[in-house]
Amino acid sequence: MPLFEIRDLVTAFHTTDGRVPAVDGVSLSIDRGRTLGLVGESGCGKSVTAMSILRLVAAPGRIETGSILLDSPAGPVDLVTLPDSDLRRVRGGRIGMIFQEPMTSLNPVFTVGDQIAEAVLLHRACSRGAARARALEMLRLVRLADPEQRLDEYPHQLSGGMRQRVMIAMALACEPDLVVADEPTTALDVTIQAQILDLLGDLRRRLGTAILLITHDLGVVAETCDEVAVMYAGRIVERAPADVLFARPLHPYTIGLLAARPDPDAAGRAPLRTIPGMVPAPQRFPVGCRFHPRCGHARAAATPEGPACEAPAPELLEVEPGHFVRCHYAERLGEPHPAAVEVRFA
Ligand code: SF4
């Protein structure tokens, strides 16, 4: 059993316009000490997947079906059905979360030291003094400058990069088995972003923490992830080890995402490539393959090679060991894409 596994998760919002399935049958798994990147455009369901993991989806949203399994000494526990009191022990204990904007997660009226210590006290039987010592140790671990001084400062006294380090310190203070990091560097400038990603990689190696990294940035994924799952319109459309996905993307959406990455060498000389159209709103997901209105390879009618793209919906199938694709024509489209060979893989 992997450390963490999501099986057929469906999370939907029940609005006045009807049922909106933001996450529709997602399955993922992560082994101990590994990093899985969950990528896709805004609105594809990545963040709702992250919020579902710790049952943080607010009404009118709710998890309808599926299981979210966390391996434990007595066997896997299902976070979907876990009683609230047990789930509170998992949140911040065995699973830590890092959000894009730390100001929404840090309490402005408490010092950062008190907030980290409070997280420790919630999950460990220790004295206030020991929790404060742990907070200081964590601020050192995340390489915050002047950690003794920062301990007694409030979030507004820190820069965005410092606040993100504090969030990471808080998420890792109880040595979680898994960290869910939702766009942890998006709001930061490039230099700080690189430092934070380095830091997460370093902590993963030292503490053996598994990481679910949610991002729209394929460059970040190439640098940090062991495996990648690409999400589109509430579903996983491709999943593979990162080196395989970048060398041999098979789903037209993945190929489009790779081609749309900005090329710093061609800046100002070549137009940016884009994927035509937009991610459909969940209440208007197309029938059949949800990518077909944007796909340059879509077949309007059945061919000797496969069905029409509007029906039936393609399944997520394993086309080579560890490489899953949701496309009727994946294996026929699988020539390495020119964009793929340029990717530097860490
Ligand atoms: Fe494109 Fe058809 Fe494959 Fe969907 S099933 S990605 S429309 S080729």
pLDDT at 333 over 90: no
Report whether residue 291 contacts ligand 1, using a CB cutoff of 6 Å.
yes
- pLDDT at res. 254: 94
Identify the residue whose C-alpha is closest to ligand 1 atom 5: 327
Q: Which has more pLDDT, 270 or 328? A: 328
Of 93-97, 313-317, 331-335, 338-342, minimum mean pLDDT range: 338-342
0.85 cut: is pTM over it? yes
Split at pLDDT 50, 70, 90, the class of 336 is very low
Report whether residue 250 contacts ligand 1, using a CB cutoff of 6 Å.
no
User: Distance from the CA of 15 to the center of ligand 1, in angstroms?
Assistant: 30
pLDDT at 284 over 80: yes
Report whether residue 289 contacts ligand 1, using a CB cutoff of 6 Å.
yes
Q: How many CB atoms lie within 10 A of CB 5?
A: 18
Identify the residue whose C-alpha is closest to ligand 1 atom 6: 327
**CB of 79 closer than 8 Å to CB of 49:** no
Q: Is 120 helix (H, G, I), strand (E, B) or coil?
A: helix
Mean pLDDT computed over 157-161:
89
pLDDT at 123 over 60: yes
Determine the atom of ligand 1 nearest the C-alpha atom of 237. 6
Q: Which has more pLDDT, 87 or 103? A: 87
pLDDT at 300 over 80: yes
**CB of 250 closer than 8 Å to CB of 333:** yes
Residues 6+ apart with CB under 8 A from 77: 69, 70, 86, 90
Pairing of strands 61-70, 235-241: unpaired
pLDDT at 7 over 70: yes
Mean pLDDT computed over 6-13:
97
The two counts, helices (H) then strands (E), for the chain are 10, 12
Report whether residue 50 contacts ligand 1, using a CB cutoff of 6 Å.
no
Residue type, 225: C
* DSSP of 206-238: HH--EEEEEES-HHHHHHH-SEEEEEETTEEEE
- 310-332: burial string, b at 16+ Cβ within 10 Å, e else: beebbebeebeeebbbbbbbbee
- pLDDT at res. 267: 61
**CB of 238 closer than 8 Å to CB of 253:** yes
Residue type, 190: V
pLDDT at 342 over 70: no
Mean pLDDT computed over 42-64:
93
Measured distance CA(214)–CA(211) in Å, rounded: 9
Measured distance CA(184)–CA(100) in Å, rounded: 5
Report whether residue 327 contacts ligand 1, using a CB cutoff of 6 Å.
yes
Mean pLDDT computed over 135-151:
92
